[in-house]
Structure 1
């Protein structure tokens, strides 16, 4: 005959407790087919199964962060008592005030911003004609809120807001969906090193809290602008123990680690949350073509599993690094400048899709190239495939950065045309990448 173990909670008498102290304790009781146990046993199994399933979902999914906020509200009640004495015809009023505190707890779970669970088909193509999302479509620079001047890095959040490093206007602009008028969210338009200023911004990303992180390159510092604030906080800066040169790109992974590409020191540096001291995760040696070297790196990308990709500009290639390794693998480009399917001419930026396919902003060839996981087969052109540089909607001039939005559309910083172009995903079609 099987025995089922149940538990009962008791108030007080900690000296008799089986478990716990102070306010109460649990006492184990044995039961054999009692009605209570027959009800509790299936319920316990159901709860156990639900708990295991929840843990599996949490382990498999993209990392999330939970913020718990506790709010205490004080409620005041006033009671008035009136007493009448008949002998002297006097009336006395007594007022008593009671304050009751009510506490409520709210938990909010936030997902990484800009990390999309994209499923892009291996045969996906993109429309040849770009849509101008920021800047002038005719390629003319400017300083008003409808214009850009030498834009650099971009970021698209989960609400399709576009953030642009408007380098020569020393500001970060935000373009909401369906609007080509920007909103200044960082920088005041004047170059400087004050907390509300930038100088040569070249990288932007939004963290899990909605704060704006900027690679303030010419000031050799990383600035954080808390959501809604135009006054920056310095997270890291150049020092003797933390050399930080000209930064060309900035990326935030799913754990809120910041990766910056340090062009001057030929390295990629990782900053963990709440630390101003970086760790070199790629390069860090004198410039060179070795697999443990970089030469003038620009863009970087970090996958959900921590794999790092670096646009090694002066070596005309893209490098891939597994977590913990400083020895990389060439995954795009053959180390020589050129325009054939195996070559790049200034690899400026990269993104990677769910298939492991690599998309490269090929700055010198005015195009976007895609490499599959069969890297030796060479790349194919997917955007800007006219073979010429220009300002037409089908052309690019010096593409500097590129990002996916949550739908799989590709945004390109068309730097030489001072605009941001959006190319709509078409899924699988009869059109073949060139």
Structure 2
């Protein structure tokens, strides 16, 4: 086991495609999506065959990814309680926050880390889910400060979080927006706090009661800041099988993907979505944990096409198993946390 201050190389970069051995599916899901339904040609924008960057050999449990302006890839490992980074063209990944396979609640350790973000100054923000807090590791430091969830105990008061699952930041890194799953809300905090402050509820009722109306949230897992659309938020309702767009300052949102409260596998609905991204053309991408795929929704469309995964769980190069996060690099190559297969898959842009 590493000491708390150690930075050790632990993850190997695979140079071949992932194993073609297919895991035994838990269930069979019928996918009815077609490229024609989404208004796309038969040639999808990405290769459907993934390349394993970080594979099961590392016992990886990836949940979310972040890529900075230098195409450095960061990821969180929920079960081993640390954050890793893989520089562009590097062969190895290194630990940059937390202690590998060591759980804790002090300023060095993490407990079930779920999301990561790196600001322009190199500070690393980690969503420390089971400690009900957000930790900020200032550039190069191994000891973090708590900037949200100061009590360290779960709850729905304004100085608490309750199993938060995802966060997002505005373009100036002034505000942090947290998908507070068990309180069914999004809470805003300042990023420059050194001692923790109370949050402000900006989406959801804040009562801790889930629902599938456009004024409530249902188990939010992921969130994206939309500076190009009226400065709003894209919020993934994991339990509500939907994505809702919520303008800042509003008391309600508009569902833009999925059928609220209904799970299925066709081109207009979702099954436990886990992450969302949007590109420069305002196309939206949703990672579906239970449908084992990534769906693309073209701008202003609620009909999707499957771009990654075939709908059945497995570890072949064309399959995903319970994916939970994704990111794009500067060339729009797609990276997916293939959580159930314990790997990160890279899908090349065509």
TM class by smaller structure: 0.7 to 0.9
Question: How far is 1:373 from its partner?
Answer: 2.8
Question: How far is 1:281 from its partner?
Answer: 1.5
Q: Give the paired residue count.
A: 294
Give 5+ residue unaligned stretches, structure 2: 1-39, 152-156
Q: How far apart, in 1, do the equivalents of 2:300 and 2:85 lie?
A: 37
Question: Which residue in 2 is equivalent to 1:22?
Answer: none
Range moving further from structure 2, 264-273 or 290-299: 264-273
Question: Which residue in 2 is equivalent to 1:400?
Answer: 324
Higher relative contact order (CA closer than 8 Å, sequence separation 6+)? 2
- Higher Cα Rg, which structure: 1
Q: How far apart, in 1, do the equivalents of 2:227 and 2:334 lie?
A: 19
Alignment of 1:16-415 (within 5 A): 125-134=45-54, 136=55, 140=56, 147-189=58-100, 190-239=102-151, 240-256=157-173, 257-275=175-193, 276-283=197-204, 284-285=206-207, 286-305=209-228, 306-335=231-260, 336-376=262-302, 378-384=303-309, 386-415=310-339
**Superposition CA RMSD, Å:** 1.6
The answer (yes or no) to whether the contact 1:261–1:300 under 8 Å persists in 2 is: yes
Question: How far is 1:375 from its partner?
Answer: 2.8
Question: Which residue in 1 is equivalent to 2:26?
Answer: none
TM-score, length-scaled by structure 1 = 0.65
Partner deviation per Cα, 1:285-323 (whole Å, 9 max, x = no partner): 420011011111101111224220011111111000112
Partner deviation per Cα, 1:251-276 (whole Å, 9 max, x = no partner): 22212121211111001111123342
Higher strand share: 1
Q: How far apart, in 1, do the equivalents of 2:181 and 2:112 lie?
A: 14
Q: How far apart, in 1, do the equivalents of 2:311 and 2:128 lie?
A: 34
Question: Which residue in 2 is equivalent to 1:17?
Answer: none
Per the alignment, do residues 253 and 416 of structure 1 end up closer, same or farther by CA in structure 2, a change over 3 Å counting?
Answer: same
Higher helix share: 1
Residue 418 (1) aligns with residue 335 (2): no
The answer (yes or no) to whether the contact 2:234–2:276 under 8 Å persists in 1 is: yes
TM-score, length-scaled by structure 2 = 0.80
The SS at the match of 1:264 is: helix
Range moving further from structure 2, 229-238 or 404-413: 229-238
The answer (yes or no) to whether the contact 1:214–1:250 under 8 Å persists in 2 is: no
Give 5+ residue unaligned stretches, structure 1: 1-121, 427-434
The SS at the match of 2:165 is: strand
Partner deviation per Cα, 1:67-90 (whole Å, 9 max, x = no partner): xxxxxxxxxxxxxxxxxxxxxxxx
Partner deviation per Cα, 1:180-212 (whole Å, 9 max, x = no partner): 422110111211111110011101000121110
Q: How far apart, in 1, do the equivalents of 2:284 and 2:257 lie?
A: 8
The answer (yes or no) to whether the contact 1:204–1:251 under 8 Å persists in 2 is: no
Question: How far is 1:148 from its partner?
Answer: 4.0
Q: How far apart, in 1, do the equivalents of 2:51 and 2:267 lie?
A: 26
